[in-house]
Amino acid sequence: MERGEIQSRVRKVIAGVLKIAEEEVAADANFVFDLGADSMQSLEFVAAFEEEFEIEMDEAAALEIQTVDGAVEFIAGALATQR
Amino acid sequence: MGKRKSREQVHGIFYPRSVAVVGTNRGRGTVPFDIFYNILKDGFQGTVYPVSPREKSVAGVKAYKYVIDIDDDLDMAVLVFPSTVAHLAMEQIGKKGIKSAIIISAGFREIGEAGMKREQEVKAIADEYGVSFIGPNCLGVINTDPECSFNASFARQMPAQGNIAFLSQSGALCTAVLDYALAKNIGFSKFVSFGNKADISEIDLLYYLKDDPKTRVILLYLEEVTEGKALMDVVQEILSERGKPVLILKSGRTTEGATAAASHTGSLAGSDEVCNAAFRQAGIIRCETIEDMFNYAISMAYQPIPEGKRVAIVTNAGGPGVLATDRAVHEGLTLARFSEKTADILKKSLPHTANLKNPVDLIGDAKKDRYSAAVSSILGDDGVDGALVILTPQSMTDIRSIAEELCSIGRRFPKPLYTSFMGEADVSEGVEILQRHHIPHYSLPEDMCQAFSQACLFAELRDRDPGQPTLYDDVDMDRADQIFATVREEGGKKLSMDQSFRLLDAYRIPLLPYGLAGSEAEAAALAGEIGFPIVLKVVSEDVIHKSDAGGVLLGLDSAEKVRRGYQGILESVRSSVAGARVEAVLVQKMAGDGEEVIIGIKQDPSFGSVVLVGIGGIYVEIFRDFVVRVAPFSRGEARAMVQSLKLFPLLSGVRGREPRDIESLLTCIERVGQLARQRPEIAELDINPLLVRSQGRGAVVADARVVLENLERKER
Amino acid sequence: MKSRSLSDSEIATLTTQGCTAEDWRQIQVRDGFDPRRVRKTSFSGPVFLGRLDGSASLPGGGSVPCGLYNSRVHDCTFADNVFVDSVGFAANYDFEEGVIVRNVGALVVEGMSSFANGVGIQIVNEAGGRELPIYDGLSAQIAYLLVMYHHKSRFLRSLEALIQTCTDSKQSHRGRVQRGSRIEDCGRLRNVMIGAAVTVEGALELEEGTIAGCPEDPSYVGVGVVARQFVILSGARVDTGATLERCFVGQGVRIGKQFSAENCAFFANCEGFHSEAVSLFAGPYSVTHHKSTLLIACYVSFFNAGSGTNQSNHMYKLGPLHQGVLERGVKTGSFSYLFWPSRVGAFTSVVGKHYGNIDTADLPFSNLTESNGRSLLTPAMNLLNIGTRRDAEKWVDRDRRRDPDKLDLIHFDLLNPYTVGKMIMGVQVLRGLAEGSTKQQETVVYRGVHIRRLLLKMGIRYYEMGIGLYLGERLAERLEPLCPGATVADIRKAIAPSKSFPRQSKWRDICGLLAPAEKIDEIVESVAEGRIKDLGELQLRLRRIYDSYREYEWDWCIGVMQERLGMTWEKFEPPQLAELIRVGGENAVKLNSILENDAAKEFDEHSHIGYGIDGSREEGKLDFEAVRGSLEGNAFVRKLREDSRRVQSRSSRLLAWLGGLGSS
C-alpha cells in the first residue's frame, strides 16, 4: 500500500473517531495536542486502525504513537511485516 | 538544586492578571475541566482563557485551539495536557512570552525513567524561554487574597481567606487538608501543592512567604528533605527578620536505609535524628500529625504569642479542669498565681462553692456573667500569660452568649486566649462562633494545653540568639591537604590510624602522645620517649574488636613489659584472627582518669555536616546517650548539646567527683565541627573516646577512625 | 475461693469511712480483705469483694490503691485488686481481677439480656428481608451465607437455628467486665458485656452490646461514642463521636470521627470515618473516609469510597427495597452516584453519576464513567492501572488483626479463579457484542451500560492478557522446582490435579473467601441436612476450604488449560506447556511495561480516583495517608521492572528445559 493511501485512510479513521472533518486532521497533527483526543479515544484509534487495515498492533507500541505521521509509519511497517 | 528564584518570579505564580488553561476540555469532573472551572467560579479578578484543541468554548467561554492564537498578553499558563504532550505545550507557552506556569499533569519523574525524561525536557524548554513553574504533578495553587482570588487547583472548594499559608509536596494530602480546614473554619492565605518541584521548590516559596504581608504562619508538608541546609537558612531568616512561625510535618519515610555501620556515628545518627536536630536548630516546629499542625497554627496565626508560661485555666467542670492541669504541667507550663486584686474579683463574682484558685472552677451552672468576670480579671492579671477556657455543656449553659463574650474579651486583651468547648453536637454553635472570630478552639483540653506550650516553644526559638560559630585560624591546612592527597593517590576509603591522628592534630585537637612501632625495640624506645604508663594497641584492618582479640594492653609501666607486651599482642592477634595483617603496634600514653565522650561526624546528604556528641567508650551503642547538630554551630549551641546529655552531671561534678574540663570539650566539639565543614570528603568520623579530664587538665583523643566518601567530590 | 462475712470491726471501719449497706450481711469478702480500701461506697444486694492490696496506674502517671471509692453498687462481685471510683451506679456486674472502672455514670444490667447476640439487623435490603443475626463469633463468611443465600431456605433455617442455640447461651441477667479492661469517664452503659483487654473511655452511651477483646488485640471504644445493639470485636477501635445503631464491628475495624451507621456490618480491617452508612454489608478492607459519603443498602468488599459517594435505593414506589452489590475491589470516585438495584464487577472504578440500573459483574477490572448522561464502560482498563496492582498488595500488609483466632477468612490474590473466571466470561460477552454489532455503531449496549464498539476488541485483548498471564504464572510456579533435571513423567506428577477434580467450574467470592462453588454448595447442603451441628464446626469446614485454596486453584487452572488446549491434562506435552509459559511470560512483561507507562496515570487524572484519599490510619493520628509521593511511584515502578526481569529469566530457563525434553 502506498504511503499516500495509508495516510488518507488514517486521517479518515481519526476523523471518524473524533467526529471532526477530515480536513481538520493535519498530516503532522499530534492526537492530543492538536486534535484534543482523550485517552479513551487514543485507544479507540488503535482498535480502529486494526480494523481498517486488518492488522494486529502490539499494545505497548501502539500506545506510544502520538501523531498522524507516527501512525502512518507504524502501520506501514506493520503492513510490510504482516503481509 | 538550581538557582534560587527571584521574588518576582514567585510572585507571578500567585498574582497573575491573565491566565490560559492549556489543555482544558468540557468533561465535567475531569481535572482539565475542573481546573478551568474553578478559576472561573471562585472569583478570579483577572481574565482566564481556555485553550482546547477541540472545543469552541468551555463553560461558555470562548476557547482557543493553541495558546499562541491568543492575541492578548498572558501572565500565566496552567498546563493540564497529559504529560506526553506537555513539551509541545511548554514550547508554545514560551513562545507566547508567558513567564509563569503551573503544571498540573502527572506522569513525570514520579512514574520512573520515562517520566523523568519528559520532566527534564519540559524543564529545558521552560528554562530556554525563562518560564518559572510549579509542579509538575501537583494539585495546583490557591491565593485567597481578594485582590486576586485565584483557585488554580482541582480542589472542590476555595478555602476561606486566612493568614496561614500551606505548602505540600503531596497533592492527595492537600485535598484532605482543605476538607479538614473547611470543617474547622480555618482559612488560608496561600495554598500550594508543589508536586515534583522541578523548577520552583519549597525553598523559593518560603522566601516569598517570608515577605508576604498576607501570611502570618507557614505550614509545610514534606515527604523528603532534599535541600536541608537551604531549608534551615530560609527558616532562620524568616524567624529573625519576620518572626513568623514555620511548622513542618515531615512524613516518616527516610531516603536512606540503615547505614551499614562503618562507625558508631554512622549507625547512631539516623536521618530522622538529624532532621529533628536540624529543625530545632533552625527554629522549625516539627509536627507529628496534620491535626497537631493545625492545632498549633490556629493559635499562632490569630492570637498573640505568649510572653511566658503562666497559664490560668477556667472551667465549669472539675474533671476537665484537672485533665487540663495535668497536661499543662506535663507540657512544662506553670499554673499562674493570681494577684490579690484578681482573687478579690473572683471571690465577689463567683459562688462560694467555686474554686478560686487556679484552675478556676466556675461550677456547672455557670453562665456568661461568671465566665466574663473570671476571664477578664484573669487576663488583666500581670501574673498571667494566657487563659485556657473550658466549657462543658450543662442544661443551663448559654453556650452562644458565652462564646460571643469570649470573642469580645479576646479582642480587649493583648494576651492569648484559647478555648475548649467539650462535646460535639451541643456546643457546635458556640464553636463556630469562636472559629469565625479566630479564637483558637480545641475539642480536647489536652490539645489546648499542648498548643499553648508549642506557642511558648516558638517564642523561645524566635527569641534565642543562635550565636556565631567560632572559626579557628590555627589549623594547619597544608598538612590536612597532604593527608588527603596521599589517601587519594592510594585510592583508599579510610584513613589509617596514624593519618587520622595526624589529621586531628592538624586541627589542633589534642591527642594522647603516641607513636607507631614496627618492632619490640621500637616500641620500648617510643615508650621511653612518651613516658609510662603505656598502652599498646594493635593496628590492623583485619581486627575489628581489638580488645576481644587480645590486641590491647593497658598500664605497661616498664620497657621490659612493653617489649613482652608487643610480642604478646602479635601472638594473641594472630591466633584469634586467622591471617590478620598487622601494620604496626600503637604505643600510646595511658589516658588516666577522664570521662569518655564520643564526638563524631557524619555527612548527611541533605543537611550537610552533622556533628554527634555523646557518651563514649565501648558501650556507645548500648547507652545511646547522644545528641546531634548540623554544623556550623556556635559555642553556645555546643554547650547546650553537652548540657542535654544524661552524661552531663558526671561532667559537671556529682557525688563528690571533680568537675571535668568542659570548656576543653566544647573547643574540641567546635573544632570537629569546623573539620566537618572544611573537609566534606569525610563521610564518617568517630573520635571515641575523647577523654575529658578534670578541670584545667584538658581533653585528649584516645582513638579515632575516619571513613571517606568518594574522593572525587570536591568541597562545597 | 474462700469467702466470709464482714466482721463487726470491719463494718465499723467501713461505716466511719462513709460506706453504707442495705444489709451488711449480704456482703461477702475474701480472706485478706482490707476495709480501708473501701470508702464512701453504698452497697445493696449481694456483693462479693476480693482482696484489695495492690495498686492500679491511671493515665497521666501516678498509681492509686485498688479499692472501691465514691460509688454505688448493687449485686456485684469484685475479684482481686479492682479499682472502682466515682461510679454513679453499678448493678448486676461481675468484675474480674485488676479491672478499672472510674468516673462512669451508670454501669448496669437490667433484666435478661443477650448483649446484642442474636439481634437481627436489616442489612443490604433496608426494608428488610435479609436480616442478619449478629453475635460475637460472626465471621464474614457466615454472614455472607446468611444474607445472600436466602434462596436456600432449608439451609437458612438450619443455620439460624445453630446461631439461635449459640446466642441463647449468651443470655444472662448479669454482665461481666473481664480482666485487663478499663472503663473510664463514660456516661451510661446498660446491658453491655465487656471482654478482656477492652478500653472504654469517654463513651457517651452504650446500650445492649458486646465488646470483645483479647490481650493480643485489645479493643477500644472512645470519646463521644453512642452505640445501641452492637457487637464490637477484638482489635476494633470505635472512637470520636461515632454513632452505631444495630451494628456489627468486626476484628481490626476502625470507626470514628462522627461516622454514623445503622443496620450495618463491618468485617476485618474496614474503616469508616465521617461518613454515613445504612444497611451496609461491608466485607473486609472496605474503607470510607469522607463527610459527604453515604453508603446504603449494598454489599461491598475491598472497597474504597471517594468523597461524596452516594446511592439511591428508593424508587418511590414500594419503598427502599433495592440493593446493590459492588464486587471486591470496586472504587468510587468523588461524588459518584449509583442507582440500585445495580451490580458492579470486581476491581471496577466508578466515576460520575449513573442513573440507570446496571450489571457489569461479568466485566471485571473495568472503568465505569459517565458521558453525556450515559453510563460508559471501558472493559478491562483497570488491569492496566497501577493503582489496582498496588492496592491488592497493600491489603496483605495492612491486616491489623492480632487476635490468635481470626474469624474472617481472606484471600488476597488479585488474579485468582474467581476474577480470572470472570474475565473468561467477559471475553465471551465482549465477543458476542462485537459479533453482534456493525461498523456503523459507535457504542453497544450491555445490561445498562454503553461500551464503545472499537474498544470491545481492546477489552478482549486485555482480558486475554490477564488470563494468559495468570495461567502461565501458575504453571511456571509448578514447574520451576523441577527445572532443569526432571523428566516428562515428573512433570505429569507435578501438574496432576487433586482427587476432587474435575468437579470444579465456577468460583465464588464469599466475602473474602475464594472457593469453588461446589465446595460451598457442599457446606450449604451439610448445614441444611443437619450434618453440621454447631457453628464451630461450620467455621472449621470453611477454614478447611480456605486452607485448600492452592489445591483447588490448581485444579481450576488445569481445567481451564484443558479447555484452551483442547485435550485432557494427561496428554499435555512439553511443547504445549512451553507455549503456555511463553505466552504467560510475555503477557506479564507486556503488562508491566504498560503499567510503567503513561496509560495508567492518564486514567487516574481523568477520573480523580488517583487523587482520592485511600489508605488507613495509624492509631488515630493522621486522618489520611499521604500517597503518591515521588518516592513511592519510583519504588513501585522499580518493583515492576524487577518482576519483569524475574519472569523473563524464569521463562527462558523453563523454555530451554522444556524445549530439550521434546515429547514423551
Q: Return the HEC string of C585-610.
A: HHHHHHHHHHHHCHHHHHHHHHHCHH
Residue with the larger pLDDT of the pair C633 and B110: B110
CB atoms within 10 A of CB B639: 16
State mean pLDDT over B297-326: 93
Question: Average pLDDT for residues C607-617, to the nearest whole number?
Answer: 33
Q: How many CB atoms lie within 10 A of CB B261?
A: 12
User: A60 and C602: CB-CB below 8 Å?
Assistant: no
Q: Do A36 and B54 touch (CB under 8 A)?
A: yes
Which amino acid, C393?
E
The answer to whether the CB of C373 falls within 8 A of the CB of C355 is: yes
Residue of chain C whose Cα is closest to the Cα of A42: C599
User: What's the pLDDT tens digit per position in B674-695?
Assistant: 999 999 889 899 998 999 998 8
Three-class DSSP category at C664: coil
Chain A contact present for C461, CB below 8 A: yes
Q: Does C205 touch chain B (CB under 8 A)?
A: no
Give the pLDDT mean for B360-364: 90
Report the gap between the CA of B469 and the closest CA in chain C (Å). Answer: 36
Residue B334 has pLDDT above 90, yes or no: yes
For position A63, what pLDDT does the model report?
77
The angle, 0 to 180 degrees and rounded to 10, between the axes of the packed helices A39-53 and C598-607 is: 130
Report the neighbours of C using a cutoff of 3 or more CB pairs below 8 angstroms: A, B
pLDDT at B712: 46
B262 — phi, psi (to 5°)?
A: -85, -15
Q: Which three cell numbers stand for residue B434?
A: 469562636
The Cα–Cα gap between B418 and B431 comes to 12
Confidence of residue C1 (pLDDT cuts 50, 70, 90): low
* A67-73 average pLDDT score: 93
Q: How confident is the model at residue C624 (pLDDT cuts 50, 70, 90)?
A: very low
Domain boundaries, chain C: 1-108, 111-135+170-289
The mean pLDDT of C3-24, rounded to a whole number, is: 94
What pTM, to 2 d.p., does this model score?
Answer: 0.78
Give the residue on C whose Cα is nearest the Cα of B81: C602
The reply to whether residue C626 touches residue B107, judged by beta carbons under 8 angstroms, is: no
What pLDDT shows up at residue C143? 96
Residue of A nearest to C377 (CA): A40
pLDDT grade for B574, boundaries at 50, 70 and 90: confident
pLDDT of residue B716: 34
Partner-chain residue, chosen from A44, A50, A51, that has the shortest CB–CB distance to C452: A44
Q: Per CATH, the architecture of B513-590 is what?
A: 2-Layer Sandwich (3.30)
What percentage of chain C carries pLDDT values higher than 70?
92
State which of B165-174, B423-432, B440-449 shows the largest mean pLDDT: B440-449
pLDDT band, residue C603 (cuts 50/70/90): very low
What is the pLDDT averaged over residues B506-514?
93
Return the C-alpha cell found at B183: 470543617
Of C120 and C386, which is predicted with more confidence? C120
Residue ranges of B 217-246 with Cβ closer than 8 A to chain C: 221, 223-224
Judge: C606–B31 Cβ closer than 8 Å, yes or no: yes
pLDDT at B2: 59
Q: Which three cell numbers stand for residue B146?
A: 481578594
Give Dmax over CA atoms of chain B in angstroms.
101
CA dihedral over B540, B541, B543, B544, signed as positive or negative? positive
**Chain C hits for A38, Cβ within 8 Å:** 606
Measured between alpha carbons, how far is residue B704 from residues B368, B689, C306 in Å?
Answer: 69, 8, 57
Q: Which of residues 338-397 of C touch B (CB under 8 A)?
A: 351-352, 370, 386
Q: Which residues contact C599 (CB under 8 A, 6 or more apart)?
A: A39, A63, C384
* Residues 11 through 70 of chain C touching chain B, CB cutoff 8 Å: 60
**C330 versus C604: which is more confidently predicted?**
C330
- Chain C residue with minimum CA distance to B172: C611
Name every chain A residue with its beta carbon within 8 A of the beta carbon of C594. 59-60, 63
Tell me the shortest Cα–Cα distance from C602 to chain A, in angstroms.
Answer: 7
Residues in chain C: 664
Q: Is C154 on the interface with A (CB under 8 A)?
A: no
User: pLDDT band at B336, cuts 50/70/90?
Assistant: very high
Residue with more model confidence, C631 or B133: B133
The pLDDT, as a whole number, for residue B26 is 87
Within 10 angstroms of residue B123's Cβ, the number of other Cβ atoms is 21
Is the pLDDT score of C630 beyond 80?
no
> By C-alpha distance, which of C202, C606, C20, C182 is closest to C368?
C606
Question: Running DSSP on this structure, what letter comes out for residue B470?
Answer: P
Task: Supply the pLDDT for residue C605.
Answer: 43
* pLDDT on residue B657: 82
Per-residue model confidence as pLDDT tens digits over C578-601: 999 999 999 999 888 888 775 555
The percent helix, strand, coil of chain C (3-state, each to 5) is 35, 30, 40
B390 contact partners, CB below 8 Å, separation of at least 6: B313, B314, B315, B316, B317, B320, B321, B324, B419, B420, B421, B422, B445, B448
Chain-chain contact of B114 with C596 (C-beta, under 8 angstroms):
yes
For B82, the closest of C352, C602, C631 (CB atoms) is: C602
Using CA atoms, how far apart are residues B108 and B120, in angstroms rounded to an integer?
9
Contact by Cβ (8 Å): C84, C67: yes
A66 to B85: CB separation less than 8 angstroms, yes or no? yes
Interface test mutation site (partner C, options B83, B156, B175, max chain C beta carbons within 10 A): B175
Residue B611: helix, strand or coil by DSSP? strand
* C637 touches B at CB < 8 Å: yes
Cβ-based contacts of B82 with chain A (< 8 Å): 32, 39
**Hey, are the CB atoms on A39 and C454 less than 8 Å from each other?**
no
Confirm whether C1-108 and C111-135+170-289 share one CATH topology. yes
Cα–Cα distance measured from residue C455 to residue C384, given in angstroms and rounded to the nearest whole number: 14
Task: Show me where the domains of chain B are located.
Answer: 7-215, 304-463, 513-590
Cα separation values, C473 from A42, B135, C396, C555, Å: 30, 39, 20, 14
Distance from CA of A9 to the nearest CA of C (A): 15
Contact (CB<8Å) C608/B31:
yes
Under an 8 Å CB criterion, which residues of A touch C? Answer: 17, 38-40, 43-44, 46-48, 50-51, 59-60, 63
Residue of B124 and B578 predicted with greater confidence: B124
Q: Mean pLDDT throughout C171-190? A: 95
B122-136, B232-246, C609-623: segment of lowest average pLDDT: C609-623
**Which of B115, B173, B330 comes nearest C626 by C-beta?**
B173
Level-2 CATH architecture, domain B304-463: 3-Layer(aba) Sandwich (3.40)
Are residues B25 and A38, on separate chains, in Cβ contact within 8 Å?
Answer: yes
* pLDDT-wise least confident of C119-128, C452-461, C511-520: C119-128
3-class SS at A73?
A: helix
Mean pLDDT of chain B: 90
CATH of domain C111-135+170-289: 2.160.10
User: Residue C185: closest CA among chain B residues belongs to which residue?
Assistant: B319
What confidence score (pLDDT) does residue B497 get? 85
- The reply to whether C624 touches chain B by the CB within 8 Å rule is yes
**Can you list the domains of chain A with their CATH numbers?**
3-82 (1.10.1200.10)
- As a whole-number percent, the residues of chain B with pLDDT over 70 amount to 97
Top pLDDT among B260 and C541 is at C541
- Give yes or no for residue C629 having a pLDDT over 70: no
Q: Indicate the residue of B55, B65, B84 with minimum beta-carbon distance to A32.
A: B84
A17 CB neighbours in chain C (<8 A) are 454
Distance CA C399, CA C410 (A): 10
Alpha helices in B507-608 (DSSP H): 520-530, 559-576
Other CB atoms within a 10 A radius of the CB of residue C102 amount to 22
Its sign, for the CA torsion C637, C638, C640, C645, is positive
* Residue in A with minimal Cα distance to C381: A40
Highest mean pLDDT among B25-39, B209-223, B592-606, C490-504: B209-223
Using CA atoms, how far residue B523 sits from B518, B520, B527, B561, B704, in Å, is 7, 5, 6, 10, 21
Give the pLDDT confidence score for residue B478 in this predicted structure: 93
B256 CB near a chain C CB, below 8 Å? no
CB contact under 8 A, B85 and A20: no
Q: Is the link from the previous residue into B533 a cis peptide, with omega within 30 of 0?
A: yes
Residue C557 has pLDDT above 50, yes or no: yes
Tell whether B117 is within 8 A of chain C (Cβ): no
Give the pLDDT mean for B333-357. Answer: 90
Measured between beta carbons, which residues in chain A are less than 8 angstroms from residue B53?
32-36
To the nearest whole Å, the CA of A62 is away from the closest chain C CA by 11
Report the gap between the CA of B142 and the closest CA in chain C (Å). 17
Q: What is the C-alpha separation between C361 and C347, in angstroms, rounded?
A: 10
Contacts of C93 (CB under 8 A, 6+ apart): C76, C77, C107, C108, C109, C174, C175, C176, C177
pLDDT tens track for B402-433: 999 999 999 999 999 999 998 877 788 999 99
Q: Say yes or no: C598 contacts chain A, CB-CB below 8 A.
A: yes
Q: How confident is the model at residue C617 (pLDDT cuts 50, 70, 90)?
A: very low
In this structure, what DSSP letter does residue C113 have?
Answer: B
Nearest residue of C to residue B196, measured between CA atoms: C630
Q: What is the pLDDT, as a whole number, of residue B262? A: 67
pLDDT grade, residue B265 (50/70/90)? Answer: confident
What does the pLDDT average to over A14-29? 92
The pLDDT assigned to C663 comes to 60
Name which of B25, B616, B32, B30 is nearest B268 in CA terms: B616
CA distance C295 to C280: 6
Query: Which of A18, A20, A32 lies at the smallest CB-CB distance from B82?
Result: A32
Weakest-pLDDT range from C366-380, C444-458, C617-631:
C617-631
Report d(CA C73, CA C85) in Å as an integer. 11
* Cβ(B630)–Cβ(B612) below 8 Å: no
pLDDT in tens, B468-490: 899 999 999 999 999 999 988 88
- Chain C positions touching A44 (Cβ under 8 A) are 452, 454-455
Q: Which residues of A are catalytic?
A: 38
- Strand, coil or helix: what is C622? coil
Q: Which residues does chain B have within 8 Å of residue A30's beta carbon, measured at their own beta carbons? A: 85, 88
Average pLDDT, chain C: 89
Q: What is the pLDDT of residue B60?
A: 94
Rounded CA gap, C465 and C458, in Å? 10
| Among candidates B27, B53, B82 on the partner chain, residue whose Cβ is nearest the Cβ of A35 | B53
Distance from CA of B30 to the nearest CA of C (A): 5
Q: Which residues pair with C184 in a beta bridge?
A: C102, C201
Kindly state the average pLDDT of the residues C242-251. Answer: 97
Which CATH class name applies to C1-108? mainly beta
Question: Per CATH, which fold does B7-215 belong to?
Answer: Rossmann fold (3.40.50)
Report the pLDDT value the prediction gives residue C317, as an integer from 0 to 100.
Answer: 63
Q: Where are the alpha helices (DSSP H) in C512-629?
A: 517-528, 535-547, 549-565, 574-596, 598-607
Q: Do domains B7-215 and B513-590 have the same CATH topology?
A: no
Q: What is the pLDDT of residue B252?
A: 60
- Name which of B27, B169, B327 is nearest C629 (Cβ-Cβ): B169
Could you say which of B25, B55, B85 has the minimum Cβ distance to residue A33?
Answer: B85
Q: Per residue in B213-259, pLDDT tens?
A: 999 999 999 877 888 999 999 999 999 999 999 999 987 644 444 44
